[in-house]
């Protein structure tokens, strides 16, 4: 008991009835709520997706045969879909994270501001993904 | 981590005040260090994103000889090493938050946190080893 006067009354030990936070179904679904979950989901996807990065780098260090396996995978339809999804997850998570930096700095908490930031992350993430893939194809990624 | 005796139990309610409980760096005993490192690594990756994307674009559709040569150049290797270091740390913290939010069984939670550490370190070390091997030209 740091510095407490011993003649003082002891703290109340009975449970105090405080309002509880309602569970998630109770709330009206909002964009910022949905995107909060998407931020977390893309983070988890990127976590698993680092295995692709590791595979790519280890294969490059291992030799031509191992590298050819990575290229065969990444140029297959399923491989392209996964890498496309990974690109979107990365771009979305980055922009959504920048949105969090804005909030961390104490800005953008008004209703219209937080909606605008969230739409910006959503649309920006899709736009950057498409842009990256256009550049990639123009750059010979379709080979 | 609830090894702290100060948390109390239904039978023996804690005598500590809420202020006393958050002292000593709070429930996680590490204060806000993880929060801060999450931000540092996030900013770092945001800054490194364009160089990292340029490197990947340079290697699209190229063979292993070209990739190995590019990856062994000093600026490319340093950018990728920084990116890997930041992402491994960032994802370790992020996944730990997810585990702490959803896994309520104490033993399962500790196991998951431990596996998360193993995975993140393995990702970082395997990638780092590959880049250093390419850079040393062995």
Number of domains in chain A: 1
Q: According to the model, what pLDDT value does residue A17 have?
A: 80
Of the candidate ranges A94-98, B30-34, B44-48, B56-60, the one whose mean pLDDT is the lowest: B30-34
Tally C-beta pairs within 8 A across A and B.
90
Q: What DSSP string describes A17-57? A: --PPPPPGGGSPP-HHHHHHHHHHHHHHHHHHHHHHHHHHH
* Percent of the residues in chain B that have a pLDDT greater than 70, as a whole number: 83
Classify domain B32-136 at the CATH topology level.
3 helical TM bundles of succinate and fumarate reductases (1.20.1300)
Tell me whether B76 touches chain A (CB under 8 Å).
no
Give the H/E segment covering residue A127: helix A111-136
Domain CATH for A77? 1.20.1300.10
Can you give the residue range of the structural domain that contains A66? 30-141
The pair of structure tokens assigned to A114 is 């937080």
Q: Quick one: average pLDDT of B22-30?
A: 65
| Residue A23, in any domain of the structure | no
Residue of A40, A135, A140 lying closest to B61 (CB–CB): A140
Q: Which residue has the higher pLDDT, B86 or A7?
A: B86
Q: Quick one: average pLDDT of A32-58?
A: 96
Q: According to the model, what pLDDT value does residue B9 have?
A: 58
E strands, B38-91, in order: none
Between chains, do B98 and A40 touch, taking CB under 8 Å as contact?
A: yes
| Residue A47, in any domain of the structure | yes
Q: According to the model, what pLDDT value does residue B21 have?
A: 67
Between chains, do B87 and A50 touch, taking CB under 8 Å as contact?
A: yes
**Domain locations along chain B:** 1-31, 32-136
What is chain A's mean pLDDT, rounded? Answer: 89
| Residue A110, in any domain of the structure | yes
Q: According to the model, what pLDDT value does residue B49 have?
A: 97
Q: ipTM of the predicted structure?
A: 0.81
Q: According to the model, what pLDDT value does residue A39 have?
A: 97
| Cα gap A9→A6, rounded to integer Å | 8
Between chains, do A57 and B13 touch, taking CB under 8 Å as contact?
A: no
The 10 Å CB-count burial string (b at 16+, else e) for B7-17 is eeeeeeebebe
| Residue A15, in any domain of the structure | no
| Cα gap A133→B8, rounded to integer Å | 55
Q: According to the model, what pLDDT value does residue A9 have?
A: 57
């Amino acid at each position: 008991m740091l510095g407490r006067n011993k003649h003082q009354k002891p703290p109340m030990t009975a449970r105090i009835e405080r309002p509880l936070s309602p569970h998630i179904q109770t709330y009206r679904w909002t964009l910022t709520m949905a995107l909060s979950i998407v931020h977390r989901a893309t983070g988890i996807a990127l976590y698993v997706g680092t295995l692709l990065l590791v595979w790519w780098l280890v294969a490059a260090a291992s030799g031509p045969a191992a590298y050819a396996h990575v290229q065969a995978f990444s140029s297959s339809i399923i491989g392209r879909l996964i890498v496309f999804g990974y690109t979107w997850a990365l771009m979305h998570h980055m922009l959504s994270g920048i949105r969090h930096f804005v909030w961390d700095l104490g800005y953008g908490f008004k209703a219209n501001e937080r909606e605008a930031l969230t739409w910006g992350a959503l649309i920006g993430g899709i736009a950057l993904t498409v842009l990256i893939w256009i550049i990639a194809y123009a750059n010979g990624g379709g080979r | 981590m609830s090894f702290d005796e100060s948390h109390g139990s239904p039978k023996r309610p804690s005598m500590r005040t809420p202020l006393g409980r958050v002292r000593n760096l709070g429930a996680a005993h590490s204060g806000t260090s993880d929060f801060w490192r999450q931000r540092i690594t996030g900013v770092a990756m945001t800054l490194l994103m364009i160089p990292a994307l340029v490197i990947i674009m340079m290697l699209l559709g190229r063979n292993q000889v070209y990739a190995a040569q590019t990856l062994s150049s000093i600026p490319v290797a340093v950018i990728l090493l920084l990116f890997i270091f930041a992402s491994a740390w960032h994802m370790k913290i992020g996944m730990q938050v997810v585990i702490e939010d959803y896994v309520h069984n104490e033993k399962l939670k500790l196991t998951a946190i431990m596996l998360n550490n193993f995975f993140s370190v393995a990702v970082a070390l395997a990638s780092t080893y590959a880049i250093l091997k390419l850079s040393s030209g062995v």
